Amino acid sequence: MRPRVLGALAVADFRERVRRPVYAVILLAAVGLGYLAVPSTGSHWVIVNLGNHRGVYDSAYVAAVTALAGALWLFAGGFYVVRVAIARDGATGVGELLAVTPLRTTEYLFGKFLSNLLVLGSMAGVLVGTALVMQVARGESTGVDPVALLAPFVLFTLPVLAAASGCAVLFETVPLLRGGLGNVVWFFLSMTVMIAGQSPSAPLGGLGMNLFAESVKADMAARHIAVRELSLGLMYLDRPPRTFVWSGLDLTWGFAAERLALAVLAGLLAVVPALWFARFDPARRAGRPAPVPVPDAVPIAVPGPVPQAVVPGHDGASGREGTLDHDEAVAGGGGFEVRAVTAPRPGGAAGRLLAGELRILVRGVSRWWWAGVAALTVVGLLAPTEIATGPLLLATSVWPALIWSRLGTQGHENGVGALLGAYPGVRRRVLAEWAAGVVLTAFTGLVPVLRMALAADGPGTAAWAAGTLFIPSLALALGVLGRTHRLFQALYLPLWYMVVNAVAALDYIGAVRAGGRPAGPDPLAVAGVAAVLLATALAVVTFRHARR
């Protein structure tokens, strides 16, 4: 690999990404994460829970908890930020230009890995800055120790971000994982890594939590503080944690070597796809309609005499009549009878608009997806009611996630907006798109609601109905706001996961039950949120249209 080539590739790609407005949002998110990691003295929320204790906010502690928060959340969320590096080259056509250069495939893939790492690394850089500011702002310790401040980011955060960068390249090169399915797989994979990575037996140091935990435990024990639990995440404590002075990380060469090995493995993960990466050859591209050769020029009947190009509004003296250019002389010219075309008449089109939106939504969906719907239907009909209205309801609430994520994004992602911009009825289109989402949601969730209706479960049915309005409304609003299907995929799956974990306050579909009744929010409240989301989508579209 040639370092100059790698550098040029990575820097160009990095520049392209950071010059997009969304990059500012990404950095703001990093600032927000840094702020969350160092909560105020009276806060009940913590990212690192040390059994109702925390370290005094000095450089070592602030940096360690911020770096761990970065390792945890940037690993899971950062993947979604960087996972379109190769796809963008395909969409812009840059990939084809690169493909015909002497650039080696391994160099290309490693360059993308470095570019991903630069983007995520810049977020880590923002975290370092935020940690410094937060330490000074909290004012518990004003002495800044640069080594203590930087070391956790270098050893905890960056190797984990390298792993996310390598995985992003790998996912982009595997046809099955390239699309929305990859986002879903990553959600579950990252959840697993986030949990397993905190374990003392996590390979290559995991997220770094264990080294931090060992050091903290030793210090707390020396101060006769009982250590009940140590965990990383976002947690609410019954009372604000008490403080102690932590002496800082006890770094070893062995740990540093493990972290280096993790980064190297991540780089290897990115270049392994060179074995099958197609270098943007459309003939080997999967996941899109096959570019079957279509006879382009259907034989055109040689037309009769060329009609004169008489231009109304100009007489023969000033207009140019009957002049032929070379093309016309060759091809023979006109022959169109455009007036023979049936005159269009206005008529009720709401049904066909809905049918069109439904078609746009589900056309191209794999037959395996439909087989899944069929399987859920059969299971739902045969299973006991408590299964059909519990786990099965949850399954039907996630199975169409990739299709819901298309709502509000299809026109933009396919470039159809350029055509539709001059079409009437923009709000009608948005409403039809939303209605298509509701129809799909109702269709996939039909069996659970049938079982609820048969069991005379009115509250469950009402919760289902509210959820059926809520999900497509959320998808549409996020799609319209973000103009990308990834936003819904990244936010909806954690929301669904919370419901799976019986967080009743977030149960939008009525799957969490207490005493046989849905324990979640009032269905009217959920429907109200759905209405607000739909109104938001409409308002954003109208605003954009007005500002065109």
- Of residues 313 and 384, the one with the C-beta less far from another protein: 313
- Cα distances (angstroms) measured from residue 236 to each of 220, 269, 387, 485: 21, 37, 31, 31
Q: Does 4 bind another protein (CB under 8 A)?
A: no
Q: Does 175 bind another protein (CB under 8 A)?
A: no
Q: Are 492 and 533 in contact (CB under 8 A)?
A: no
Residue from 344, 368, 384, 501 that binds another protein (CB under 8 A)? 344
Rounded CA gap, 109 and 166, in Å? Answer: 9
Residue from 201, 418, 501, 543 that binds another protein (CB under 8 A)? 418
- Of residues 119 and 407, the one with the C-beta less far from another protein: 407
In the complex, least distance from residue 95 CB atom to another protein, rounded to whole angstroms: 18
Residue from 100, 226, 275, 341 that binds another protein (CB under 8 A)? 341
| Interface stretch with another protein, choices 163-171, 228-236, 354-362, 518-526 (CB under 8 A) | 354-362
Q: Which of 35, 254, 259, 24 is nearest to 161 (CA)?
A: 259
Q: Does 416 bind another protein (CB under 8 A)?
A: yes
Q: Does 323 bind another protein (CB under 8 A)?
A: yes
> What track of x and - describes contact with another protein for positions 115 through 154 (by CB under 8 A)?
----------------------------------------
| Interface stretch with another protein, choices 198-206, 412-420, 445-453, 466-474 (CB under 8 A) | 412-420
Sorted by sequence, the CB contacts under 8 Å of residue 398 that are 6+ apart come out as 493, 496
Q: Which of 299, 296, 303 is nearest to 328 (CA)?
A: 303
Q: Which of 423, 533, 520 is nearest to 478 (CA)?
A: 533
Q: Are 522 and 395 in contact (CB under 8 A)?
A: no
Q: How many CA atoms lie within 13 A of 42 on its CB side?
A: 0
Residue from 201, 343, 368, 543 that binds another protein (CB under 8 A)? 343
In the complex, least distance from residue 186 CB atom to another protein, rounded to whole angstroms: 24
Q: Does 501 bind another protein (CB under 8 A)?
A: no
| Interface stretch with another protein, choices 384-392, 407-415, 473-481, 519-527 (CB under 8 A) | 407-415
**Parallel, antiparallel or unpaired: strands 242-244 and 53-55:** parallel
Q: Evaluate the CA torsion angle 358, 360, 366, 367 in order and state its sign.
A: positive
- Subset of residues 21 to 80 that bind another protein, contact rule: CB under 8 A: none
Q: Does 335 bind another protein (CB under 8 A)?
A: yes
Sorted by sequence, the CB contacts under 8 Å of residue 262 that are 6+ apart come out as 159, 160, 162, 163, 204, 205
> What track of x and - describes contact with another protein for positions 529 through 548 (by CB under 8 A)?
-----------------xxx
| Interface stretch with another protein, choices 106-114, 256-264, 347-355, 514-522 (CB under 8 A) | 347-355
**Parallel, antiparallel or unpaired: strands 45-49 and 231-236:** antiparallel
In the complex, least distance from residue 393 CB atom to another protein, rounded to whole angstroms: 29
Rounded CA gap, 322 and 313, in Å? Answer: 16
- Of residues 139 and 293, the one with the C-beta less far from another protein: 293
Q: Does 370 bind another protein (CB under 8 A)?
A: no
Residue from 306, 481, 495, 504 that binds another protein (CB under 8 A)? 306
Residue from 97, 250, 423, 516 that binds another protein (CB under 8 A)? 423
Tracing tokens 């040029």 back to the chain, one arrives at: 8
Q: What is the DSSP letter of 207?
A: T
Q: Are 389 and 380 in contact (CB under 8 A)?
A: no
Q: Which of 200, 367, 174, 184 is nearest to 274 (CA)?
A: 174
Bridge partners (DSSP) listed for residue 513: 518
Q: Does 311 bind another protein (CB under 8 A)?
A: yes
Residue from 11, 264, 272, 309 that binds another protein (CB under 8 A)? 309
- Of residues 96 and 145, the one with the C-beta less far from another protein: 96
- Of residues 361 and 463, the one with the C-beta less far from another protein: 361
- Of residues 229 and 337, the one with the C-beta less far from another protein: 337
Rounded CA gap, 162 and 3, in Å? Answer: 18
Q: Which of 399, 181, 178 is nearest to 287 (CA)?
A: 178
Q: Are 458 and 466 in contact (CB under 8 A)?
A: no
Residue from 100, 275, 283, 292 that binds another protein (CB under 8 A)? 292
Amino acid (1-letter code) at residue 244: F
Tokens of 15: 């520049």
Give the number of other CB atoms < 10 A from CB of residue 48.
24
Binding residues for another protein, rule CB under 8 A, total: 74
Q: Does 283 bind another protein (CB under 8 A)?
A: no
Tokens of 413: 């992602």
Q: Does 421 bind another protein (CB under 8 A)?
A: yes
Q: Does 367 bind another protein (CB under 8 A)?
A: no
In the complex, least distance from residue 156 CB atom to another protein, rounded to whole angstroms: 40
Judged by DSSP in three states, 145 sits in coil
Q: Does 340 bind another protein (CB under 8 A)?
A: yes
> What track of x and - describes contact with another protein for positions 248 through 277 (by CB under 8 A)?
------------------------------
In the complex, least distance from residue 347 CB atom to another protein, rounded to whole angstroms: 2
Rounded CA gap, 412 and 395, in Å? Answer: 29
> What track of x and - describes contact with another protein for positions 199 through 238 (by CB under 8 A)?
----------------------------------------
| Interface stretch with another protein, choices 81-89, 92-100, 226-234, 309-317 (CB under 8 A) | 309-317
- Of residues 347 and 515, the one with the C-beta less far from another protein: 347
Rounded CA gap, 55 and 245, in Å? Answer: 5
> 326-351 burial string, b = 16+ CB within 10 Å, else e?
eeeeeebbeeeeeeeeeeeeeeeeee
- Of residues 74 and 432, the one with the C-beta less far from another protein: 432
- Subset of residues 438 to 497 that bind another protein, contact rule: CB under 8 A: none
Judged by DSSP in three states, 321 sits in coil
